[in-house]
Structure 1
Amino acid sequence: MATPAKRPREENNDQNNVNADLKTLCTNRANAFLKWFSSNDDNFFSGKVTIGPDGSCAQNGMVAIADVQEGESLFRISRKILLHPKSSSISALFEKDPVNSESGWSELLICMMHEYNAKDSPWKPYFDVLPETVDLPMFWTEEEREKLLTGTGVVEAVNRDNKKILTEFQSVVSPYLKKHKDTISESCDDLELYKRMVSYVMAYSFTEPPKDDDSDDFGEEEEEEEKSTIYMVPMADMLNHIANNNAHLSFKPDCLEMIATKDIKKGEEVFNTYGELANWHLLHMYGFSEAYPANHYDTVDIPLDLILDIAEEDAENKEFARKKSSFFKQKVMEDLIGDIVVGTNGILTDDRLFMVLKVMEMSPSQFAIYEEECEEGWEEDLDEDTSVLTEFEKMKDLSQTWKTIIYRSATESLKRYKTNVQEDEEKLKQIDSLNSRQQYSLHLCYGQKMLLYKLINACK
């Protein structure tokens, strides 16, 4: 679960009562959910852990109540109670009339809405333990997103999401629900409910990884059927995330199992990992971010066209540089996926940046050959070692021209945020006075800026 902790920020009785009531509600629902989970004989739940709000960094979580050793099983969940279209009570309908959508989520979302509204759904205790809302940026006001998240990449991602969500609901989901109103409750035909289910899938679903070629966990038939399935996994989504996690979900033939990846002391929270995710992705998809420098997977993007524009400005022969930049944008950039990605140790897309800088320093004769080769299909390979860009410490060996372009690109990227690092650091001193949206946005923005400063310092 990624819902932020709702702990009192001020010492007043009303606020304390609200949080006490919420804690009691969460505890009662967690206990009912655990009872439901344990009632299935095929499931297993270790006596060394518990779930609920106590000791958790968020509204709910899993905490060790006894020392856990690396490799121990924390719980196992039978595949029979995973929630997905083939396990839902309307699986026969999907079999007869499949739902086709661009996202591939529509059948799962429809079955979730149906089970959520069905009073006799076997997953009722599961839906009860989920938060009323997952506080994703898609539910923030546009003004809040612009004020808190400009420059991070989240605003653009949310705008794309909201457009796709509305389009898919109106063109696919709602017509399907109307078509099958005798089977699916009409109360499911609700955009707000649909968005709520979308947020659950974004924040809590699991996608089974493709089977390794040498794995014998599944037969060929099961592999073909299951490898791309998205599941809602009761209990697994109770665990919160940090980059330095101590548990991992393992997919097995008959069950999914959460296993401790290191020793966990009594009283410590059990953390899963949602993947090697940067803070912008965590906030966009899960509703939280980690404080700098805790997330060693954090990244910040520098637009590729910004680097090209600066390389063009700094060139002695601006007309020739403009020609190379224009050609690159028209013929090459459409084949490139994404921008230049800066990680915590250096450039993650080193091949891409090396290619851009190399092209922009080509002589007319070299560029003529490059143009001809591009007509036959662009390849991101110059047969040269690009590792000098992968670590900040190595960048001192770059040419001054390259360092200047990188330095200016990173410096220019800092201007896209609403605040500077000094303002962020002042806010960090008073972090407890901020609400959760402000806190997570601050961690995100500050972390990205610090990565840009690492790059700037490396190229001075």
Structure 2
Amino acid sequence: MSDFLSWFKNAGGTLSPLVGITEFPGMSRGAIALDDIEEGFTLFTIPRNILLSTRTTELRKRLGEADWAALGSGWQPLIVSMMWEESRGNNSPWNGYLRDLPNQFDTLMFWSEEELAELQASTIKDKIGRTDAEQDYLENVYPIICRRSDVFDPALLGSHFSGERFHINGSRILSRSFHVEEWETEQASDHDGDPNHGSPANDNEDDDTVPTLIEHVEAEPSMEVDGNANESDEDEDKEQVDDVAMVPMADILNARYGCENAKLFYEKDVLRMISTKDIARGDQIWNTYGDPPNADLLRRYGHVDLIPMDNKESNASSPFPYENPADEVEIRADLLLDICLNNASESEKSQRTDVWLSLGGDDTFAIDKSDLLCKDMLRMIKYLSMTDEEVQDAVAKDKLPKGKPSGEILAKAIAVFQARLSQYTSSIEGDEGFLSAFTGPPNRLFNATFVRLCEKRLLKRAIEQGEAVLAQEGARSKGGKAKRPREEERELRRDRKKIKK
């Protein structure tokens, strides 16, 4: 760490004496307040010219445009740039930084098949992308490394340019990078005279999109940067690799749900990490990853957030009352087709799906605490219950149907939740018992168990909420149509008038 700090300061970076770097039990190295820190205090500054990106490395110039383009789209050019800079040793201006970066990860990319199996039915396993990454390396990167021996030293193929180093540097980018657009001075003109102006940046691509660093003119109001760069399944291919950068010192800060107390801002030539709250002596300094669910945290960063459940949420009989409030569980449209069109042929299911997607419907639905019954999923259930004539009418109007949580629609939704829950092979009680008896820092088995537990809890809550709504609906049907409060008030007024007469 001392070598990195020396490199950082020699490169023009500054670190406040109120900030220390230390190891935190159960997580990686992070920043700590050595004394009380007030809101708005500059914790450290980073010269813009020490960011490592495809704009700042010389590799593009050394390779030439043809071979540079042949590296492919996405993050491949930046990954190869980091591999090349690392191979240069002391000749690289980032040597002191690269030597300090991690070489081991607990992210899902590096889990064995047996370890991944512990995630059971979590769909996060399908988002790891190791097979695609290996294909990118073998088809695009490896041939250029072998052909351009004038740039890539053949003697370093095993130590610096292997497929494993490709994965490691890709994981470094996934877990530590930021989105940094080119400087445009005119961006700040609309905010002259407002020293407190700031705009939150977007998160990594998460919904893996990289958090955006928004620039401002020197001595003008700064714009804030939230979180680290992350890759999102839909946005990763669209993102310009030139906008992704490794930001020394800023990537040391850890993050945890609801704990953010610092954000990264930048001016024309320097980035500043500024406290957004008062920070007490001894407290950790937290950045933000945008509060993703634990499954995504595990995939990108190799850890999970354990947040004590609210009293309303916590069951007195639960031996492990922890959660991540941002957790979600995904349900794919295929399961809805199996439940709602169980007697239809595969051809009929395919036709219905094609029309649904053409109308803008989703093929995956996320259940979370804020929308347990998932309005979008209810709409698809409603759509799947429509006649062919009703579907044609929806197509003519280019409009998806509304799905109200009632009657047959809700009953089918409950059946979908139950079917999704049955895809997990362990019970909620068994997982809670294992986690509550676990000792020591969380390991891969602990994290996998916690991810699947929280997903199953959401499904159980969705089932319970659906059944409660159906029960209320049944009670109303037995006792007659329930009256709305305004109707009851009008009736009371009429009765009073009759009494007066």
Q: State the TM-score, normalized to the length of structure 2.
A: 0.72
Give ranges in structure 1 of 5+ residues lacking alignment. 1-29, 220-224, 374-378, 389-397
* Cα drift, residue 349 of structure 1: 6.1
- Aligned mates of 1:432, 1:38 — CA distance in 2: 40
Within a 5 Å distance, the mapping from 1:39-438 to structure 2 comes to 39-41=10-12, 43-53=13-23, 55=24, 57-94=26-63, 96-97=65-66, 98-120=68-90, 121-146=92-117, 148-158=118-128, 161-186=129-154, 187=156, 188-208=160-180, 215-216=188-189, 217=215, 229-244=243-258, 245-291=260-306, 293-313=322-342, 325-333=349-357, 336-347=361-372, 350=375, 352-363=376-387, 365-372=389-396, 379=398, 381-382=400-401, 398-432=405-439, 436-438=443-445
Secondary structure (helix, strand or coil) at the match of 1:85 reads coil
Shift of residue 300 of structure 1? 0.8
Structure 2 gaps of 5+ residues are: 190-214, 218-238, 308-321, 468-501
Q: How many residues align?
A: 398
| Percent identity between the two aligned chains | 25
Q: Secondary structure at the match of 2:98?
A: helix
Contact 2:63 2:151 in 1 (8 A): no
CA shift, 1:327, in A, is 3.2
Deviations along 1:313-356, one digit per CA (max 9) or x if unpaired, are: 5xxxx66x999755322332475454111112215963x32431
The answer to whether 1:34 aligns with 2:22 is no
Q: Note if contact 1:71-1:262 (Cα within 8 Å) is conserved in structure 2.
A: yes
Distance 1:101 1:273 in 2: 31
| Cα distance between partner residues in 2 of 1:348 and 1:178 | 54
> 1:346-376 deviations in whole A, cap 9, x for unaligned?
15963x3243132134355423323555xxx
CA distance in 1, matches of 2:346, 2:126: 28
When residues 326 and 119 of structure 1 are mapped into structure 2, their CA distance, relative to the original with a 3 A threshold, is closer
- CA offset digits 1:413-454 (Å, max 9, x no partner): 112223110111101112225751112112211111111122
Instruction: Please give the alpha-carbon distance, in whole angstroms, between the structure 2 residues aligned to 1:94 and 1:60.
Output: 36
Distance 2:302 2:45 in 1: 26
Give deviations 1:40-92, integer Å, cap 9, x for gaps.
Answer: 33x22222211121x46523111111112222222121111011122224342
In the alignment, is the contact (CA less than 8 A) between 2:115 and 2:445 conserved in 1?
no
Measured after TM superposition, the shift of residue 109 of structure 1 is 1.0
Cα distance in 2 for partners of 1:75, 1:410 equals 48
| Cα distance in 1 for residues equivalent to 2:245 and 2:367 | 32
Q: Distance in 2 between matches of 1:210 and 1:370?
A: 45
Distance between the aligned counterparts of 2:420 and 2:242, measured in 1? 37
Q: CA deviation at 1:235?
A: 0.8
Residues 50 and 64, structure 1, Cα contact 8 Å, conserved in 2: yes
Deviations 1:367-405 (CA, angstroms, capped at 9, x unpaired): 3323555xxxxx5644x5x7x7xxxxxxxxx21322212
When structure 1 is superposed on structure 2, of 64-73 and 362-371 the one drifting more is 362-371
Does the C-alpha gap of structure 1 residues 123 and 227 become closer, same or farther in structure 2, counting only changes over 3 Å? closer
CA distance in 2, matches of 1:355, 1:380: 11
Native 8 Å contact 1:66 1:266 kept in 2: yes
Change (3 A) 1:236 1:57: farther
Structure with greater contact order relative to length (CA < 8 Å, sep ≥ 6): 1
Mapped partners of 2:166, 2:110: distance in 1 = 13
- Tell me how large the CA RMSD over aligned residues is: 3.0
Task: Decide whether the 8 Å contact of 1:411 with 1:452 is kept in 2.
Answer: yes
Larger Rg belongs to: 2
Secondary structure in 2 matching 1:357: helix
